[in-house]
């Protein structure tokens, strides 16, 4: 009996130890969230000061004194950043003040992964200051954080061409990284059905999709619709017409007729009511036999946890900074809007690029 009781006590102690360890790990994750804005800046500086890069080819690690000298930092700044790197798992060490620091796998991702780099630059240059306006934005339904970028614009799209060079560069890099990854595959799929014909690019942005269409199909003629600031950034080339257009003006019809009305990453930029109006006007702009084609990043279509996190977090940018009324969408959101616009889904292809779904409506 005594042996049995001793065994029970040992098992109970082991369970309590596991529970304490699990609770401590959860509490640590909560602290990383509590300090997230500071830890984010530390991660960015570990990347941009060269500290992470200095550790790439040093599997045995380097001491803070060596890293400080090689990166041109004070020993104080080096230790502050490295110790923050320990807290978020970018580096590891033996725990002594002068011990060697080594790069972790997540540290390599922060340093070298293009998606992580684009996301971090976008958050720092476009979102960080404006995120303080999130509560006001959610309460009032307007992009309260947009004023942090230095302009009095109704949406970020109205002010895109006037952003600071760093903010504009990071915004475009973020936008292009995702959309560019799917453009060629989408055009290939459309060309399999025949020439593109007359194509209307709704929300043409800087014209990157239009240029790819012109390069792939020598007979296509493309018309882009977007705000004047975006139109100003589009090239002037044969077979491309650019029309300044406010998509929020529900009373203004789209030009017509077109064989394809194309929308890339448009759904996430508008509210449901706005999107229904856009889809109805797109339907009215179709030539006989024409189709509405949507390329979008639905968060419920993602097989990667990293993609879902990125998309769901991006909704906070739309709420606080972009326009105060849109978000990254679930595929059911567009299905509902398309039904209200009397459009029927006839084909769907996924995945395309990093995270996209291509849908064709009639």
Q: Which CATH number belongs to the domain containing residue 269 in this structure?
A: 3.40.50.150
Q: Do 239 and 343 share a domain, yes or no?
A: yes
Burial class (CB in 10 A: 0-12, 13-18, 19+), 172: middle
- Mean pLDDT computed over every residue of the chain: 94
Backbone torsions φ then ψ of 93, nearest 5 degrees: -155, 180
Question: Token pair of 146, please?
Answer: 């947009």
Q: Do 69 and 132 share a domain, yes or no?
A: no
Q: Do 69 and 167 share a domain, yes or no?
A: no
Per residue in 206-215, is it b (16+ CB within 10 Å) or e — as a string?
bbbbbbbbbe
Q: Are strands 221-226 and 240-244 parallel, antiparallel or unpaired?
A: parallel
Where residue 104 sits, what CATH number does that domain have? 1.10.10.10
What is the pLDDT at residue 3? 61
Q: Do 133 and 257 share a domain, yes or no?
A: yes
What is the pLDDT at residue 12? 72
Cβ(296)–Cβ(328) below 8 Å: no
Confidence class for position 1, pLDDT limits 50, 70, 90 = low
Best CA proximity match to 276, nearest among 342, 345, 362: 342
Cα 91 to Cα 32, 40, 43, 210, distances in angstroms = 15, 14, 10, 43
Question: Token pair of 58, please?
Answer: 């040093």
Q: Do 316 and 351 share a domain, yes or no?
A: yes
Question: Token pair of 69, please?
Answer: 């000298």
Best CA proximity match to 333, nearest among 358, 302, 296: 296
Q: How far apart are CA 219 and CA 255, in angstroms?
A: 19
Q: How far apart are CA 261 and CA 255, in angstroms?
A: 10
Mean local confidence (pLDDT), 140-151: 95
Q: How far apart are CA 42 and CA 83, in angstroms?
A: 10
SS3 196: coil
Mean local confidence (pLDDT), 49-68: 97
What is the pLDDT at residue 178? 86
Reply yes or no on whether the pLDDT at 5 is more than 60: no
Q: Do 269 and 318 share a domain, yes or no?
A: yes
Q: Which residue has the higher pLDDT, 281 or 19?
A: 281
Residue 228: which domain range?
117-361
Reply yes or no on whether the pLDDT at 19 is more than 90: no
SS3 359: strand
Helical (H) or strand (E) element with 184: helix 165-191
Mean local confidence (pLDDT), 63-78: 98
What is the pLDDT at residue 16? 74
Q: What percent of the chain has pLDDT over 70?
A: 96
Q: Do 163 and 228 share a domain, yes or no?
A: yes
What is the pLDDT at residue 215? 97
Q: Do 21 and 146 share a domain, yes or no?
A: no
Reply yes or no on whether the pLDDT at 2 is more than 70: no
Confidence class for position 236, pLDDT limits 50, 70, 90 = very high
Reply yes or no on whether the pLDDT at 98 is more than 90: no
What is the pLDDT at residue 195? 97
Mean local confidence (pLDDT), 111-128: 97
Question: Token pair of 300, please?
Answer: 């419920």
Q: Do 50 and 161 share a domain, yes or no?
A: no
Helical (H) or strand (E) element with 169: helix 165-191
Q: Do 163 and 285 share a domain, yes or no?
A: yes
Best CA proximity match to 84, nearest among 143, 136, 32, 9: 32
What is the pLDDT at residue 116? 97
Q: Are strands 345-352 and 356-361 parallel, antiparallel or unpaired?
A: antiparallel
Reply yes or no on whether the pLDDT at 121 is more than 80: yes
Cβ(286)–Cβ(292) below 8 Å: yes
What is the pLDDT at residue 181? 87
- Among residues 112, 147, 176, the one where a domain terminates is 112
Total tally of structural domains belonging to the chain? 2
Residue identified by tokens 């990125």 is 310
Question: Token pair of 148, please?
Answer: 């942090």
Cβ(185)–Cβ(192) below 8 Å: no
pTM above 0.85, yes or no: yes
Mean local confidence (pLDDT), 272-293: 98
- Among residues 63, 83, 112, the one where a domain terminates is 112
Q: Do 127 and 179 share a domain, yes or no?
A: yes
Q: Do 141 and 53 share a domain, yes or no?
A: no
Reply yes or no on whether the pLDDT at 22 is more than 80: yes
Cβ(218)–Cβ(239) below 8 Å: no
- Among residues 112, 129, 157, the one where a domain terminates is 112
Question: Token pair of 125, please?
Answer: 């240059």
């Amino acid at each position: 009996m005594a042996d049995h009781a001793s065994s029970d006590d040992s098992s109970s102690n082991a369970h309590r130890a596991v529970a304490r360890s699990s609770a401590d790990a959860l509490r640590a994750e909560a602290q990383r969230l509590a300090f997230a804005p500071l830890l984010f800046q530390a991660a960015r500086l570990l990347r941009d000061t060269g500290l992470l890069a200095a550790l790439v080819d040093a599997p045995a690690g380097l001491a803070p004194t060596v890293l400080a000298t090689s990166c041109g930092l004070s020993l104080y700044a080096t230790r502050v950043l490295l110790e923050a790197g320990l807290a978020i798992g970018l580096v590891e060490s033996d725990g002594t003040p002068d011990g060697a620091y080594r790069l972790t796998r997540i540290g390599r991702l922060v340093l070298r992964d293009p998606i992580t780099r684009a996301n971090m630059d976008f958050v720092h240059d476009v979102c960080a200051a404006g995120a303080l306006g999130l509560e006001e934005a959610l309460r009032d339904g307007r992009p309260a954080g947009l004023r942090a970028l230095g302009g009095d614009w109704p949406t970020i799209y109205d002010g895109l061409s006037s952003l600071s060079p760093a903010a504009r560069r990071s915004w475009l890099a973020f936008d292009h990284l995702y959309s560019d990854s799917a453009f060629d595959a989408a055009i290939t799929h459309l060309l399999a059905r025949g020439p593109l014909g007359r194509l209307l690019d709704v929300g043409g942005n800087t014209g990157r999709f239009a240029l790819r269409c012109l390069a792939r199909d020598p007979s296509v003629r493309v018309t882009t619709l977007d705000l004047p600031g975006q139109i100003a950034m589009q090239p002037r080339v044969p077979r491309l017409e650019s029309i300044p257009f406010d998509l929020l003006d529900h009373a203004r019809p789209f030009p017509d007729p077109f064989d394809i009305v194309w929308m890339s990453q448009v759904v996430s930029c508008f509210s449901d009511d706005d999107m229904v109006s856009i889809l109805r006007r797109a339907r009215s702009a179709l030539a006989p036999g024409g189709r509405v084609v949507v390329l979008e990043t639905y968060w419920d279509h993602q097989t990667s946890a990293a993609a879902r996190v990125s998309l769901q977090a991006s909704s906070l940018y739309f709420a606080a900074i972009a326009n105060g009324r849109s978000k990254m969408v679930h595929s059911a959101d567009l299905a509902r809007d398309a039904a209200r616009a009397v459009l029927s889904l006839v084909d769907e292809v996924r995945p395309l690029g990093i995270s996209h779904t291509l849908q064709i409506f009639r």
